[in-house]
Amino acid sequence: MGLRGPLRGALRREARGLRGESVNPIVVVLNGPNLNLLGKREPEIYGRETLADVEADCRRMGGELKLSIEFHQSNREYELIDWIHGARDRAAGIVINPAAFTHTSVAILDALNAFEGPIIEVHISNVHKREPFRRHSYVSGVAAGVIAGCGTQGYLFALQRIAQLVAL
């Protein structure tokens, strides 16, 4: 799934700055509750990399792919929703690890449904190998792709996929 018609045009137009210089497409990377504890929280499941490490990796990959990365984490559902709204008509794509909200939040699903560009859902752990309640995701129904169980490398795969979809 690439970008849908008018949005694609709008983002292309915005790909030029005020002086006509080229501006990289924006990708918003969102992280849900408890991911601020990455590296300390259940490292046998989530690994030892911190969220700051993941952010640095995403920014490095963004540089390689010529994407401008906006990176956020919150333990509050409304903040994630506000960032999704803020991405509308401005960002080329969203990478989201909704964490526990994956399995509970119709509100995040509704916000994502109002975003027109590609969305990639990321889970560090393989949610299908864990407790049965983690197998259901409200977000997967709107996501162009889902990456689970690849560790924090999954974020980089997601950025590569968004770069591909934006270029289509």
- Catalytic residue numbers read 46, 123
Integer Cα distance of 49 and 47 in angstroms: 6
Question: For ligand DQA, which is the closer residue by CB, 4 or 104?
Answer: 104
* Per-residue x/- track, 106-145, ligand DQA (CB under 6 A): -----------------xxx-x------x-----------
Number of residues binding to ligand DQA, judged by CB under 6 A: 10
What Å distances lie between residue 92 and 4, 132, 140, 143, CA to CA? 11, 33, 19, 14
Q: Check binding of 68 to ligand DQA (CB under 6 A).
A: no
Closest alpha carbon to 72 in 102, 110, 98:
98
**Residue 168 per-residue DSSP state:** -
Beta pairing partners, 70: 28
Window of 11-19, 65-73, 82-90, 93-101 that interacts with ligand DQA by CB under 6 A? 93-101
Q: Check binding of 84 to ligand DQA (CB under 6 A).
A: no
3-class DSSP state of 72 = strand
Give the ranges where the chain is alpha helix by DSSP (H). 5-14, 43-46, 51-65, 77-87, 106-113, 153-167
Q: Check binding of 102 to ligand DQA (CB under 6 A).
A: yes
Question: For ligand DQA, which is the closer residue by CB, 9 or 78?
Answer: 78
Question: For ligand DQA, which is the closer residue by CB, 99 or 158?
Answer: 99
Question: For ligand DQA, which is the closer residue by CB, 74 or 97?
Answer: 97
